Amino acid sequence: MQPLDVDEPATVGPYRLLGRLGSGGMGRVYLGRSAGGRTVAVKIVHPHFALDEQFRARFQREVAAARRVGGAWTAPVLDADPDAAVPWVATAYAAGPSLAAAVSDTGPLPPHTVRALGAGLAEALTAVHELGLVHRDVKPSNVLLTLDGPLLIDFGIARAMDGTASLTSTGVSVGSPGYMAPEQILGKGATAAADVFSLGAVLAYAATGEPPFPGDSSAALLYKVVHEEPELHAMGGELRALAAACLTKDPASRPTPTEISHRLAPEGAARLVTGGWLPGALVEQVSRSAVQLLNLDTGEAVRSGPVPFESPAETESSVRGLGAGRGSGSVGFDRPGEMGSSVRGSGPVPVDTPAKTEPPASASAASATDAGAFGPPPAMNPAEPAPPPPGEPTVVPAQRDAPPPGRISVSMAAAATPVEGARGRRLSCTVVLAVAGALAAGTLGLGVLLRPWSHQDEDKGAGSAPSHSQAPTAASSTATGGTGAPDTSPTPGTIPARYLGTWQGQATALDGNLPIGTFRLTVHRAGVGEELGRLTQTDQLGGVCTDILTLKQVTGTNLVATSTGAKGNHGGCDPAAHQIELTPVGDDLKYTSDSSAEGNPVSRLSKVG
């Protein structure tokens, strides 16, 4: 989770924002809390989209469709205001990593966990399809692993099967390479059978740690989905047979979600989840996230009603906690599908009415992340403001910038740690693909980047002014013959302590229009011409590229280095040398690159070690 920038809202509707979880194709996602203490994920559309009447109508349909979805294995919509100047929607927030992050971090899941996962997702799809909806983007990053079972999230591109609420233009496919059904890729439309195909691919990924259609480019992935058989050799027994049945090319030959759930869990998915369904490492991770949620300071409630969206975050003095979590159980609807139902107990606020100042009071939670999904937040250290130079007035920072005294401040990393030797880089972002008989993709350095096919974007990392290095005292300056004025310039050719350590954050390319995964940077002391550290780039499916950074210049405002691909990289990584810059932004570092071949990647990196 990233701290709020000064130009970001402090509250949205009845929810006070605690931090930024990420960004997607429609807008940004924030961690929020109601006056009653409920933790939610608030998705706010980009303001320029809000000016588009077609988009606004589409958003309203999406919210109405998502509001109809409810059940034990889906994350419910709790509140929304599609008619606001800047439309927003709030969902329950869940403490738990995405399936993509969990597998990348700990490896394939055990068979019992895969069975429970498949049964829960199949039951979720059964409920979705009974409403006449199709999810259309079932993939590892849209599945959260919680102690209470799997959650299927991000119904932002679900649509009515009767075609009356199509969310895309004719001939355009929406989905993720490697998890889209063949009929989706060929522009023939998506039915319930397309979700089953995607479910089969998700089960194969969970059981083997690899997607069933591997490839280093989106074009290769899409071609394999349409023309080749899935690679399931690492699976065995009934799970392999079931995955193969789901991944057949003929939609009519695939099993239904009901048949899948009966094959995996004749007595229901809940029976498999009861008594523990996650391996120990994931149980520990989720439990710590839940504890972290309890440590979030609720701060003072807003006394005079919610602050408008335009209010900058700097006007809010309440504590911004760092972390995420989820209470027990999932949140349901009192009367799903009916508009204007009253709020009772833990039920949601109707989405067709203005936001109430008394939000739902339940303590369940759900979220986001991969670029465009309500996934788990990336790790982030608590902010620690540096002391001001002598002669300047001491300013007490806003409470959100530091944990309150006596409280525990723990950051959980739900994102996977890059693993050397992983398969080639693959991109699992949601893409908009016009299929006219030929599939094309551009392969750009940091992995395989989809050119303007992608309509997603993530936070570009713009932030506050860089922090200054601590000035010497007036006494020491006078003793050395100076005038007493501090000299903040670093010694030429040395790396200030401000840059040292391990940094991590999400990255985008093509002016923020394309999410390209996670950057992890290590910086150690070095002189000009020496290696200062390495940058590891991990895409959403675990493909890894490593760049070696050589110090070129240190100025008073930034650090300049030459970045060159490591010899052990796979063919999808760019080996060419290019220049990168690291610029302090608050407590973070902003990474920029001049490599046009890679889409000029940008990332805001938070210190994690």
DSSP secondary structure string for all residues of 495-556: --GGG-EEEEEEEEETTTTEEEEEEEEEE----TTSEEEEEEEE-TT--EEEEEEEEEEE-S
**Of 284, 299, 379, the residue nearest 21 (C-alpha):** 379
Q: What is the DSSP string of 568-593?
A: T--TTS--S-EEEEEEEEBTEEEEEE
According to the model, what pLDDT value does residue 56 have?
Answer: 84
pLDDT in tens, 90-130: 988 888 888 998 999 899 999 999 999 999 999 999 999 99
Among the ranges given (302-316, 407-421, 554-568), the one the predictor scored with the smallest mean pLDDT: 407-421
Confidence of residue 564 (pLDDT cuts 50, 70, 90): very high
The two structure tokens encoding residue 578: 């290019």
Confidence of residue 571 (pLDDT cuts 50, 70, 90): low
pLDDT in tens, 394-449: 444 444 344 444 333 333 333 333 434 443 333 333 333 333 333 333 333 434 33
The two structure tokens encoding residue 164: 């009356």
According to the model, what pLDDT value does residue 24 have?
Answer: 63
At 110, the amino acid letter reads P
Residue 43 labelled as part of a binding site = yes
Among the ranges given (96-105, 531-540, 581-590), the one the predictor scored with the smallest mean pLDDT: 531-540
pLDDT in tens, 352-392: 444 444 443 333 333 333 333 444 444 444 444 444 444 44
How many residues are there in the chain?
A: 609
Judge contact between 211 and 200, C-beta under 8 A: no
Among the ranges given (238-242, 333-337, 417-421, 469-473), the one the predictor scored with the smallest mean pLDDT: 333-337
Please give the average per-residue pLDDT across 166-172, as a whole number: 38
According to the model, what pLDDT value does residue 526 have?
Answer: 92
pLDDT above 70 (res 253): yes
* Residue that wins the pLDDT comparison between 326 and 203: 203
Judge contact between 458 and 1, C-beta under 8 A: no
Q: Where are the beta strands (DSSP E) in 130-215?
A: 133-134, 143-146, 149-152, 159-160, 172-175
pLDDT above 80 (res 294): no
Q: Where are the beta strands (DSSP E) in 201-316?
A: none
Rounded to an integer, what distance in angstroms lies between the CA atom of residue 508 and that of residue 165? 31
- 65: helix, strand or coil: helix
In the block, residue with structure tokens 């995964």: 517
Q: Which of 5, 79, 137, 574 is catalytic?
A: 137
According to the model, what pLDDT value does residue 296 have?
Answer: 62
pLDDT above 90 (res 298): no
* Residue that wins the pLDDT comparison between 492 and 94: 94
CB atoms within 10 A of CB 153: 28
Rounded to an integer, what distance in angstroms lies between the CA atom of residue 599 and that of residue 82? 34
Cα angle 378-602-507, degrees, rounded to a multiple of 5: 30
Average per-residue pLDDT for the chain: 71
**Of 519, 533, 529, the residue nearest 598 (C-alpha):** 519
Q: What percent of the chain has pLDDT over 90?
A: 32
Please give the average per-residue pLDDT across 480-494, as a whole number: 49
CB contact set of 294 (below 8 Å; sequence gap of 6+): 325
According to the model, what pLDDT value does residue 323 have?
Answer: 37
At 449, the amino acid letter reads L
Please give the average per-residue pLDDT across 168-175, as a whole number: 42
Judge contact between 27 and 46, C-beta under 8 A: yes
DSSP state of 328: S
pLDDT above 70 (res 142): yes
Please give the average per-residue pLDDT across 299-309, as a whole number: 43
* 459 catalytic residue (yes or no): no
* Residue that wins the pLDDT comparison between 393 and 288: 288
**Of 601, 589, 441, the residue nearest 511 (C-alpha):** 601
pLDDT in tens, 59-87: 888 888 888 887 788 888 889 998 888 88
Judge contact between 138 and 205, C-beta under 8 A: no
Burial code of 196-217, b = ≥16 C-beta within 10 A, e = fewer? bbbbbbbbbbbbbbbbbbbbbb
Rounded to an integer, what distance in angstroms lies between the CA atom of residue 24 and that of residue 5? 17
- Say what the pTM is: 0.50
Domains and CATH numbers, the chain: 11-95+282-377 (3.30.200.20), 110-278 (1.10.510.10), 431-607 (2.40.128.280)
pLDDT above 60 (res 525): yes
In the block, residue with structure tokens 């700990």: 106
pLDDT above 90 (res 342): no
- 563: helix, strand or coil: strand
